[in-house]
Structure 1
Amino acid sequence: MQYRVEFNEEAQKQLAKLDKPVRTRVVLALDKLQSNPRPDGVKKLKGHDDRWRIRVGDWRVVYRIDDGVLIVIVIGIGIGIGIGHRSSVYKGK
């Protein structure tokens, strides 16, 4: 089973703003989610039935998993979660 990784608009913007080395590490981590969207070390976010978090160094990537259609959807920071430095990724806006 191979999952497809998609980004919402805000997450795409945040990814584009990352420095190239950080962006490369994030993309590699997301590529691994295609074969296993719940790898060792993943955290399910409290208060959300469908949101998960992986760490990439000091950075956090928060996403949803749709097992019905095999999609991992990376969520944007504009709604309080997404790709961001750990100090800001969990804050609601």
Structure 2
Amino acid sequence: MYNLNLDKKAKEFLKRLKRGEQEIILNRIEKLKDNPYLGKRLAGNLFGLWKLRIDKYRVLYKIFDDKLIIVILDMGHRKNIYD
């Protein structure tokens, strides 16, 4: 089982959401502990990162298999998460 670490940027975004949206996102993120490859591998300038789609939001994360750690780098609306 992997450990989850939320970066400051991801925590700040999560705080701005309504309680219900927070719970949905946190529940989906928790599932990454058992299978970090639920998301989709990114390419281009985001090579090495993964994304998880949750409704209109995207969660960007990096997997460190050697340490069994997933770092949630950023979260945001699908329109501007990749800016």
How many correspondences in the alignment? Answer: 82
Identity of counterpart residues, as a percentage? 29
Q: What's 2:36 paired with?
A: 37
Q: What's 1:86 paired with?
A: 78
In 2, Cα distance between equivalents of 1:50 and 1:60: 16
RMSD of equivalent CA atoms = 0.9
1:46 pairs with one of 28, 43, 48: 43
Q: Which runs of 5+ in 2 are unaligned?
A: none
Query: Which letter maps to 1:67?
Result: D
1:59 pairs with one of 57, 71, 80: 57
Q: TM-score, normalization: structure 1?
A: 0.83
Greater fraction helix: 2
Q: Which runs of 5+ in 1 are unaligned?
A: 76-81
User: Where has structure 1 moved over 3 Å in runs of 4 or more?
Assistant: none
Report matched runs for 1:6-17 at 5 Å: 6-17=5-16
